Amino acid sequence: MNRIFLSTIVGLITLTFMQAAETQKQPAAGTPAPDFSLTTSDGSQVSLKGYRGKWVVLYFYPKDFTSGCTLEARNFQRDLTKYEEAEAVVLGVSVDTAQSHKDFCAKEGLNFKLLADPDATVSTEYGSVMDYKGEKLAARNTFIINPEGQIAKVYTGVKPAEHSEQVLKDLAELKKS
């Protein structure tokens, strides 16, 4: 009896996530990346078109100072030299404030830009929003954007532990083509 109940609950949860994923449309590979202007942890404004001519790894994550988000950020930081060698820029986006990002960068020694999207406008444009206990958070998705401003690759349902390594591999392949 308990197995059937548990199985039903797991099925309903899975269905709910699948329906949520279907209603959110991420921009597809080969389409122009939506431009934006967001505030960084130092208070300056960053726009995507300011990075034309470079590869951009635009990653969305739920919340500063949480375990998965910290692991993902640390791994991007660990690999930052490899991204620089690949002439790629890493930009992180969440609904946290610029001050929260500043504190998170200081605590974790992050040397790439984290962008504040407190009203989830950009996260929504990228189909990267989720509802958590009645609060809008950025969903863990990543976009590789080529130097012409086109989306080259989309990752959904990212696993923080191995993500940076996978992005680097894919970036190397994309640069060959």
Encode the chain (177 residues) as per-residue pLDDT tens digits. Answer: 555 544 444 343 443 444 344 346 889 999 999 999 999 999 999 999 999 999 999 999 999 999 999 999 999 999 999 999 999 999 999 999 999 999 999 999 999 999 999 999 999 999 999 998 889 999 999 999 999 999 999 999 899 999 999 999 999 999 988
Q: Where are the domains of the chain?
A: 27-176
| Environment class of 27 (CB within 10 Å of its CB; exposed 0-12, middle 13-18, buried 19+) | middle
Q: Which fold has domain 27-176?
A: Glutaredoxin (3.40.30)
- Residue of 33, 38, 69, 145 with catalytic role: 69
**Nearest-angstrom CA–CA distance, 144 and 177:** 14
Q: Is 105 a catalytic residue?
A: no
